[in-house]
Structure 1
Amino acid sequence: MIQAPDLPLWAALIVGIFVLLSAAITLTGAMGLIRLDNFYDRVHPPTLGPTLGALCMLIASITCFSVLQSRPVVHEILIGIFVTLTTPVTLMLLARAALYRDRRSGDVDVPKD
């Protein structure tokens, strides 16, 4: 069994709050994916929710390991930068590909750029 780290109460509360916040935000994004009707509506919740959820989880991780190692841990900042940069780019590429596909097939009547 994995042993729980010995965190001070203030750090454990911060980590717990950010982990729960991360889970709630990610769940909200996943529910938006299920609830919405078409691709163009569905593309936003799964990109915005998990991005903010991942950033909350990274804040919790930074807090936990900085307290345990008594020095700032900044490896998670690189992960945050990577997630923050790649998620919007992926969203734009998927939306443009779907728009191109729908224009070619004639399913959507949208003005050309």
Structure 2
Amino acid sequence: MNTLSAVHPLLEAAVALLLVVGGSFALVGAIGLVRFDDFFMRLHAPTKASTLGVGGVLLASLLWHWGHGTWSLRELLIALFIFITAPVSANLLAQAALHLRVRSTAPPPEHERG
């Protein structure tokens, strides 16, 4: 099959939308990593946003391959590994920071202020 064959315009629009949404989430995660002040806030931004960003790009890739009549197991495996490892690694990093007594610069919650 020719890789430059025509794909339905709605499928192309869906792929483009997923790429833009995924790229936007990844950009927000990267900006949060740079702009936030302390470790815990820096940990939160990229783990949540990059998981959604990579998910959007992988869905776009799945749709693109489906539109060309092929299936690829690569995208499904990448999505599985990302969705499993990102939250687990973030949790382990946060537990290590708590064990090392890393201080947060965030104000305490309302109910702890007294």
Gaps of 5+ in 1: 109-113
Counterpart AA for 1:102: R
The runs of at least 4 aligned residues of structure 1 exceeding 6 Å deviation read none
TM-score (norm: length of structure 2): 0.79
Gaps of 5+ in 2: 105-114
Q: Deviations over 1:28-69 (max 9, x none)?
A: 111111121110111011100010011111110010001102
Q: Within 5 Å, which residues of 2 pair with 1:1-113?
A: 6-69=6-69, 71-102=70-101
Q: Deviations over 1:43-99 (max 9, x none)?
A: 011100010011111110010001102x54444222111110000110011111111
SS at match of 2:16: helix
Percent identity for Structure 1 against Structure 2: 31
SS at match of 1:30: helix
TM-score (norm: length of structure 1): 0.79
- Aligned partners of 1:5, 1:53: CA distance in 2, in Å? 27
